Chain A
Amino acid sequence: DQQVKQNSPSLSVQEGRISILNCDYTNSMFDYFLWYKKYPAEGPTFLISISSIKDKNEDGRFTVFLNKSAKHLSLHIVPSQPGDSAVYFCAASAQGGADGLTFGKGTHLIIQP
């Protein structure tokens, strides 16, 4: 049973536009959410996180939104750049991150010139 779901395996966006990546979760015990970015042949790189006490967190071009009632979070990238082309993983943890991360299967973001 997948507790963290990323329903879009891939997403294509034009350079300069907004990229929106979505993630749904089922476990109401999750209280901390993270986004990681992964290039081929490299490990995932931490991008941005949000605690369940917040509904938005911003870092430069990246903003994460959390809707606890819908058990949904999204990552917005504005404006999208060619270097943003990568696989993006949504991850969640309970107990403030003290246990292991539960990952979605990833969304491959392709930025078109």
Chain B
Amino acid sequence: KAGVTQTPRYLIKTRGQQVTLSCSPISGHRSVSWYQQTPGQGLQFLFEYFSETQRNKGNFPGRFSGRQFSNSRSEMNVSTLELGDSALYLCASSEGQGNVAKNIQYFGAGTRLSVL
């Protein structure tokens, strides 16, 4: 099975712009979660989508949004970029239901976003 695929791997944007990141989960996985990793804050949970619905949300401003398509692929959007949004954005997928073993999250390699 192919793993979690994130595109693009690297992005450079300027303040005020918006950006869209893409994630293709492992085949058969219906849950996609997004995380932000920065040196100061570590890995922080952004939100989780399951069957095209946002099921859980972390503590991030409304500039961060996402969606999930019927094939479970997900996109994350950040509007009005700020310097502090520079980070590694990681996507993880899981089956999303059932016992805990089915909720183990498998991560992609991430998208490195630099905001200038």
Contact = CB atoms under 8 A, between A and B. Distances in A.
Interface of A: 32, 34, 36, 41-46, 49, 51, 89, 91, 93, 96-106
A106 B42 contact: yes
B105 A46 contact: yes
B103 A100 contact: no
Nearest to B6: A43
Prevailing SS type, chain B contact patch? strand
B58 interface: yes
Contacts of A100: 33, 35, 45-48, 56, 58
23 contacts: A32-B103, A34-B104, A36-B107, A43-B4, A43-B6, A43-B90, A43-B92, A49-B101, A96-B100, A97-B103, A98-B56, A98-B97, A99-B56, A100-B45, A100-B47, A100-B56, A101-B33, A101-B43, A101-B105, A103-B42, A103-B44, A104-B42, A106-B42
Given A32-B100, A34-B104, A100-B46, 17 more contacts: A41-B109, A43-B4, A43-B108, A43-B109, A43-B110, A44-B43, A46-B105, A49-B100, A89-B42, A96-B99, A96-B100, A97-B100, A100-B35, A100-B56, A101-B45, A103-B35, A103-B44
Which interface class (under 10, 10 to 19, 20 to 34, 35 or more) fits B? 20 to 34
A104 B46 CA distance: 15
Interface string B4-48: 101000000000000000000000000001010000001111111
Contacts of B103: 32, 93, 96-98
Interface string B84-116: 000000101010010111011111111000000
A2 B106 CA distance: 23
Nearest to B106: A46
B43 A89 contact: yes
> Closest 8 interchain pairs by CB?
A97-B103, A100-B45, A43-B107, A105-B42, A103-B43, A44-B107, A43-B109, A99-B56
B42 A42 contact: no
